[in-house]
Each structure stands twice: as C-alpha cells, then as structure tokens.
C-alpha cells in the first residue's frame, strides 16, 4: 500500500509513479478571487472532504501518450506528432481532448485491473496545495518566477518535473499543462456544495469539463492559483491542455 510521499512504478512501464494523498478537508477557493481580475471563472470559499487517493507525480507525457496510441491503435491527434514544440518525449502531452484522456484512463484500468481515472476537481486543489493552507500557489505566496513553467506563449513546454515538487511530492500542479478533471464545470461551480463522488462522469456532451493548473502559455498568474478552475469542450484538442492520472484507493 502506498504511503504519503511514497512512489511506485507499475508493471509493463505503463503505470505512472504515484503519490498517496491523505484524506482530509480542503478549504477551496482561498485566497479570495482578486477583485480587479477580469477572468470569467470566479470562485468562492467552501470546504470539501476528499477521501484518500493516489495521484501521478507528473502529467502524462508525450512518450506515454504516443506509446498508448501505438499499442492500441487509438487515433492520436496529428498536431501532437507534427508540432515541434512537443518533440521531447518527456514534454507533457497536449492536443488531448477530455474524451481522449478518458479513453487512456479506461485502457490503463483494463490493462492493470486498477481503478485509474482522471483527477477530480477537489482532489486536484487538495493535491496542488501540498499541505499548505490558504496559500496562493503550490509553493506558497511567492511569484511564480522560478517555481513553474509559465508565461511562455511562443516557446515549448519544459519536460515534466523540471521544477521541485510540492509538499506532497507532486510536480507541475501549476503551469506546464492544463489538466482535464473528471467533472464538468457545472457540477462543481458555482454551487460546489452539491459536488459528490458517487457520480462524477460527464453524462451530457454539451457540458464542459473542468481544467486545472494553467500551462506554460499562461501569462496571467491568477490561473496558476490553487483555487482557479477553467473549462473547455469535451472534444477540444489544444496545445495547452493535457491530463494527469489518479487512482482510487
């Protein structure tokens, strides 16, 4: 069994290194939404109990995702193969829709007989905070400079884990690549109190899934905050959205 900050590599080199995140109550949405921000996705403070779970230390990489395509014959977006910004196999995978990400988790769950899935919204914020309470970012309140891969709209993403992990041992929960979450935005905002873990899969394709974490292209540091969430269409493939795996314990 995984203990907190303990990692493990799975069989066949297809499983990620995982970190066990303890159960606890996360106070989401702190600090408060900055009053001068023009961003459309506001948040509010509220508490959510998060059961223990495991999360991948890093996002799924280009190498991981292309290997999945080769093994299964799944249709990988042509842009991922042709975009020179993603030539490094250790770069975070992009041009991955929410549908693509779910297919990957379903494949991994079948191959390993384990409960792999996407990270849930409250889980992401709980893991991103790394044991720090009420801070802006996973590392604290300091500026993102030198702490994550961001504000690089014309460049390439750095390889995953290019910066030190947070207090839970998880890398890149801010910057690097946006991460699809399991729920749709309407399930968790604005009335997050209705969120539950019994039925988090998106049932209506017209609804947009949550994205968390910001990316290497993010210029506004507000989106790197632990409290921030975004949304995009289930079938959207973008050069700044990838995904991270979670495991139900």
Predicted local confidence at residue 187, as pLDDT = 85
4, part of any domain: no
pLDDT in tens, 213-247: 999 999 999 999 999 999 999 999 999 999 999 99
Domain of 207, CATH number, reads: 3.90.1580.10
- pLDDT grade, residue 248 (50/70/90)? very high
Domain holding 36, by residue range, is: 11-248
Residue 48 has pLDDT above 70, yes or no: yes
21, part of any domain: yes
Predicted local confidence at residue 209, as pLDDT = 95
- Average pLDDT of 152-177? 97
- Cβ contacts of residue 113 below 8 Å, gap of 6+? none
pLDDT in tens, 96-150: 999 999 999 999 999 999 999 999 999 999 999 999 999 999 999 999 999 999 9
For the chain, the distance separating the N- and C-terminal CA atoms, rounded to the nearest angstrom, is 9
117, part of any domain: yes
Residue 196 has pLDDT above 50, yes or no: no
Predicted local confidence at residue 1, as pLDDT = 42
Q: Where are the alpha helices (DSSP H) in the chain?
A: 62-72, 78-82, 98-112, 121-129, 185-188
1, part of any domain: no
Predicted local confidence at residue 130, as pLDDT = 98
User: What domain count does the chain have?
Assistant: 1
- Average pLDDT of 58-67? 98
3, part of any domain: no
Closest CA relative to residue 186, chosen from 198, 200, 168, 197: 200
Closest CA relative to residue 128, chosen from 228, 2, 6, 239: 228
6, part of any domain: no
- Residue 109's Cβ-count burial label (10 Å; 0-12, 13-18, 19+) is middle
200, part of any domain: yes
Q: Say what the pTM is.
A: 0.90
Q: Across the beta sheet with 53-56, what order do the strands follow? A: 18-21, 53-56, 245-248, 116-118
């Amino acid at each position: 069994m995984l203990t907190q900050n303990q990692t493990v590599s799975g069989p066949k080199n297809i499983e990620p290194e995982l970190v066990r995140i303890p159960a606890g109550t996360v106070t989401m949405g702190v600090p408060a939404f900055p009053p001068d921000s023009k961003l459309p996705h506001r948040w509010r403070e509220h508490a959510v109990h998060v059961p223990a779970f495991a999360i991948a230390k890093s996002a799924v990489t280009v190498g991981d995702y292309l290997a999945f395509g080769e093994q299964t014959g799944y249709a990988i977006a042509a842009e991922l193969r042709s975009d020179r910004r993603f030539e490094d196999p250790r770069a975070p995978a992009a041009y991955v829709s929410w549908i693509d990400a779910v297919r990957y988790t379903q494949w991994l769950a079948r191959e390993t007989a384990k409960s792999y899935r996407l990270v849930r919204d409250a889980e992401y914020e709980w893991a991103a905070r790394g044991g720090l309470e009420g801070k802006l970012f996973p590392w604290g309140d300091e500026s993102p400079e030198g702490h994550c891969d961001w504000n690089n709209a014309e460049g390439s993403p750095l390889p995953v884990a290019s910066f030190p992990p947070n207090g839970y041992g998880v890398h890149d929960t801010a910057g690097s690549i946006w991460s699809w979450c399991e729920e749709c935005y309407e399930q968790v905002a604005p009335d997050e109190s209705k969120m539950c873990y019994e039925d988090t899969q998106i049932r209506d394709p017209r609804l947009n899934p949550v994205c968390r974490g910001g990316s290497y292209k993010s210029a506004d540091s507000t989106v790197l905050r632990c409290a921030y969430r975004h949304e995009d269409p289930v079938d959207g493939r973008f050069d700044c959205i990838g995904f991270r795996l979670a495991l139900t314990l």
